Amino acid sequence: MPVTNAEASLVASSIEILTTGIAAANGPVWLACSFSLEDVAIIDMAHSAGIPLGLFALDTGRLNEETYEVADALVNRYGVRIDWYFPKHGAVEHLERTDGLFSFRDSLEKRHVCCGIRKVEPLSRALHGASGWVTGMRREQSVTRSDLVAIGTDDLQGGIIKINPLLEWSEEQVVAYTERGSLPKNRLYGRGYRSIGCAPCTRAVEIGEDARAGRWWWENPEHKECGLHRR
């Protein structure tokens, strides 16, 4: 099936956002890769356009096996290097010994503590020395992302450039792009998952639910961020 003018325009716009954001950063720029369809699409676009983009991933210690499979597939297909960052083991040991293995389900505050240890602190190390970072966030994903901008600054990370090249894409457009190129895809998508994070915090969604309904499903929609992308 040939690429339509609308699809080509969407891809061109995303590549322009990437190149403009990287130029504005004027230094090292990294993609924070969770191996979602969005991140895979960005990697493919950057590779096709010859855009230099570093990759890092946060291994929280609770990822699904299927997520690691995508990581290997990306390395094999594109020859990329993925820099992995892990939570500090002492902090994880203290958390689990003190509050147990599932304290994040007790309250929003405790969930933020867990995310802070497993995601937010490793992110700060991953972005140390970076001038910008790229995410696969889209506006339609949730109420917490409705005010995304294509290129902005991240005050939580010292004011570095934050680039969101897919902000205007729909879920259907992302799926179509990845299927057209037969790109690596997490097998959990085929089991009803539409947003994939840590295994205990992610489930398949029901018909009629939004894409992020399976993330922290015991919380209200306006709370469904881990701290990496606080507004």
**Which DSSP string corresponds to the chain?**
-PPPHHHHHHHHHHHHHHHHHHHHHTS-EEEE----HHHHHHHHHHHHHT---EEEEE--S-B-HHHHHHHHHHHHHH---EEEE---HHHHHHHHHHH-TTGGGT-HHHHHHHHIIIIIHHHHHHTTT-SEEE----GGG-GGGTT--SEEEEGGGTTEEEE-TTTT--HHHHHHHHHHTT----GGGGGT-SS--BGGGB-PPPTT--TTTTBSTTS-GGG---STT--
pTM of the model: 0.91
Q: So what's the pLDDT on residue 60?
A: 97
Residue 217 forms part of a structural domain: no
Q: So what's the pLDDT on residue 211?
A: 81
Residue 86 forms part of a structural domain: yes
Residue 36 forms part of a structural domain: yes
CATH of the domain at 19: 3.40.50.620
Residue 196 forms part of a structural domain: no
Give the residue numbers marked as catalytic.
226
Residues of the chain with pLDDT under 50: none
- How many domains does the chain fold into? 1
Q: So what's the pLDDT on residue 113?
A: 96
Residue 13 forms part of a structural domain: yes
Q: So what's the pLDDT on residue 225?
A: 62
Residue 230 forms part of a structural domain: no
Residue 205 forms part of a structural domain: no
Residue 122 forms part of a structural domain: yes
Residue 61 belongs to domain spanning: 5-187
